[in-house]
Amino acid sequence: MSIPFRAIALCALLAGCGAPQPDAPAAAEAVAEANGMGEFISTPVEPAPKPYDVRKGTDWPEAALADGVAMVSCELDYANQGDGEALAHLSFMSVADAIRPCQEVGLVRLRYQGKINAGFTALVERVSAIADRMEIGKRVLDIDSTGGQVEDAIRAGDAIGASGWTIWVREGASCHSACVLILGAGDVRMISGPVGIHRIIRMSSTATSRAQLNEELQAVYGRVKEYLARNGVAVAVADMMMAVPNRNLRLLTPDELLEYGLDGTNPAQDDLDRLQLMRKCGEDFVRRRDAFQRSFDRQCKVPDRELEELNDCGLALREEYGFPDGTCPDDSPMSEFDAVRSAFFQRRAPADEPPAEERPDSAGAGVRESGLGIGKKPSVGAATAATGGSPE
């Protein structure tokens, strides 16, 4: 073998024995915020490490709210009771301390005003985790957002969809752009404020033609469509977004919100619940529940109606359909209000009458009785007064 040939063979052998070089990581796509009336932008992000499961441990990683304010309340009557206490930190103890007062009521309302971003996603995941641990079954996300990052909206939406949230967009609030993805994830949606859509902004785009830009956007919209479909929202919403310039905003009408599955009961969750409710509560319960929902959509969802009026209409209407149900009260429509009422009456019981052990029976012996409202349905008038309305 000639010397040059052996030299070449030796070089090849050394190269083959060397450590393999890692492939360059593929650029990850994400979606961020836009300027103006709504924010729905795509930007590249670094591949994220495996997320910490906040549902299990207590040594939560650092997280903070940016461009957003969160408030925690155990009341639904925002008009008279306000929005509760500010949640400034997202550590385990801070979130647990903020939500602990709601454990007695069995309901938490999370008021959020700001951008859809990583901080909002951490907020939703952590409040859901603590609510699970404290067995707080009724959860309301009271949101006001002009949008933000799509990837964070999808992550937050998946957390919302897995943990049973009702979502409010009340009068004076809005839900635009990426916020629409959050709206799609709720089990029930109650809307009084405007909901708007537009195109995603592809901030990291290197496109030099419309064809190239469209190809890039299709990958992002593919993920959005997949998300909408698994949450029971019509994928036509994503197609509509594509037709609205990102400098503009198209407000969806009340009829469109219902038609596209963004208002009222979540169609996907409704399908999931139906068989379970048939077994647990019976066919008659499901039939009355469906009839109530149809009547609520027809009679209560009037344009420009404030959320408080919308709730009052639903609470009055459900009496006609036998709700709250005696067998399945927690599965009855708008049962989150019953949780607040029950706690209200239990808190009032000691003040309204002497302690049970001090009440003599007819023979003079002490008789222990259950507190007022436990195991009973409060009257309509008393229940309305409990939530700040006018008694009938």
Report the CATH number at residue 39: 3.90.226.10
Q: What is the pLDDT of residue 357?
A: 46
Angle in degrees, 0-180, between the axes of helices 307-318 and 283-299, rounded to the nearest 10: 140
Residue 293 domain-assigned (yes or no): yes
Indicate if 280 and 350 belong to the same structural domain: yes
DSSP codes, 67-133: SEEEEEES-S-HHHHTT-EE----SHHHHHHHHGGGTTTTEEEEEEEE-BSHHHHHHHHHHHHHHHH
**pLDDT in the model for residue 291:** 96
- Whether residue 331 is contained in a domain is answered as yes
* Amino acid type, 247: R
User: What's the pLDDT at 253?
Assistant: 96
Pair 205, 333 in one domain: no
Same domain assignment for residues 92 and 139: yes
**Do 359 and 257 fall into the same domain?**
no
One domain for residues 243 and 299 = no
Q: Are residues 260 and 276 in the same domain?
A: no
Please tell me the distance from the alpha carbon of residue 192 to that of residue 174, in angstroms, as a whole number: 9
Do residues 116 and 137 share a domain? yes
Same domain membership, residue 237 and residue 298: no
Both 73 and 177 in one domain: the answer is yes
Domain boundary among 210, 230, 265: 265
Last residue of a domain, one of 231, 265, 299: 265
**What pTM, to 2 d.p., does this model score?**
0.76
| Secondary structure of residue 44 in the 3-state scheme | strand
**What is the domain extent for residue 314?**
269-386
331: helix, coil or strand?
helix
Say if residue 186 is in the same domain as residue 49.
Answer: yes
* Spatial distance between the Cα atoms of 189 and 177, rounded to a whole number of angstroms: 16
In a domain, 223, yes or no: yes
How many residues in total does the chain contain? 392
Q: Alpha helices of the chain — where are they, by DSSP H?
A: 3-17, 78-81, 92-99, 118-133, 150-161, 179-185, 210-230, 236-242, 254-259, 267-281, 283-299, 307-318, 335-352, 380-386
The confidence score (pLDDT) of residue 339 equals 83
Query: Pairing between strand 39-45 and 201-202?
Result: parallel
Helix (H, G, I), strand (E, B) or coil at 176: strand
Specify whether 55 is located in the same domain as 181: yes
Residues 187, 139 within the same domain: yes
Where the chain has pLDDT below 70, the residues are: 1-50, 202-205, 342-392
- Using a 10 angstrom Cβ sphere, with 0-12 exposed, 13-18 middle and 19 or more buried, the burial of residue 115 is buried
Distance CA 148, CA 43 (A): 11
Report the candidate in 389, 280, 392 with the shortest Cα–Cα distance to residue 341: 389
Q: In which element (H, E) is residue 142 found?
A: strand 138-144
Is 6 inside a domain boundary? no
End-to-end CA distance of the chain: 106
The answer to whether residue 11 sits within a structural domain is no
Q: How many domains does the chain have?
A: 2
Asked, for residue 208, whether it belongs to a domain, the answer is yes
Domain boundary at 214, 232, 265, which?
A: 265
Q: Is 215 inside a domain boundary?
A: yes
Q: What pLDDT is stored for residue 204 in this prediction? A: 63
- Is residue 209 in a domain? yes
